[in-house]
Homo-oligomer: A and B are copies of this chain.
Amino acid sequence: MPDHEGESGLTRGELARETGCNIETIRYYEKIGLLPDPPRTAAGYRIYSASHLGRLRFILRARELGFPMEDIRGLLGLDDGAAPNCAEVKARTERHLADVRAKIADLRRVETVLAETAAKCSGHHVPDCPILDALGPKDG
């Protein structure tokens, strides 16, 4: 392991373990500019500070909440360079919330169709399966 210089400072592997993030994903986020390039040891090993840790956690939490990458960028203030202002953050959150609600509504419709269809099927008879019928004729 690279020299820790007596101070804290995480290697990529440690950061990955700490956050539960895949180790390669960290490099990927660096490449696409979500994470700033960390300083390196003489040998070229990345050294992450608490600030990187916080930022990565932020990204992962936003991801868990389903924010699209573009929004995460915006929330981090990477769109315009300036720190994101509150109104912008709120707007983004509400747009995303609307998307989530739309997705829920979609899935509920799907749920209904699937449940109804599955209920019609006894699971016994082979031909004329009501599920397949509901989906439409496969042939002819």
Which residues of A are at the interface with B, using a C-beta cutoff of 8 A? 50-51, 54-55, 57-58, 61-62, 64-66, 75-76, 83-87, 89-91, 93-94, 96-97, 100-101, 103-104, 107-108, 110-111, 113-115, 117-118, 121-126, 129, 131-132, 135-140
A100-B90 contact, Cβ under 8 Å, with A54-B140, A140-B54: no
Q: A117-B93, A118-B97 are in contact. Are A87 and B123 (CB under 8 A)?
A: yes
Partner of A114, one of B93, B123, B140: B93
Chain copies in complex:
2
Given contacts A65-B113, A107-B104, A113-B65, contact A86 B121 (CB under 8 A): yes
Instruction: Report whether B138 and A76 are in contact in the complex, using a CB–CB cutoff of 8 Å.
Output: yes
C-alpha gap A131/B67 in the complex (Å): 13
A121 CA to B65 CA, complexed, in Å = 17
Provide the residues of chain B in CB contact with A94, threshold 8 Å.
118
CB distance from A126 to the nearest CB of B (A): 5
Q: List 21 A-B contacts (CB under 8 A).
A: A54-B136, A54-B137, A54-B138, A54-B140, A58-B136, A58-B137, A58-B138, A65-B110, A65-B135, A66-B110, A84-B132, A86-B125, A90-B123, A90-B131, A91-B123, A93-B114, A93-B121, A97-B111, A100-B107, A104-B111, A107-B107
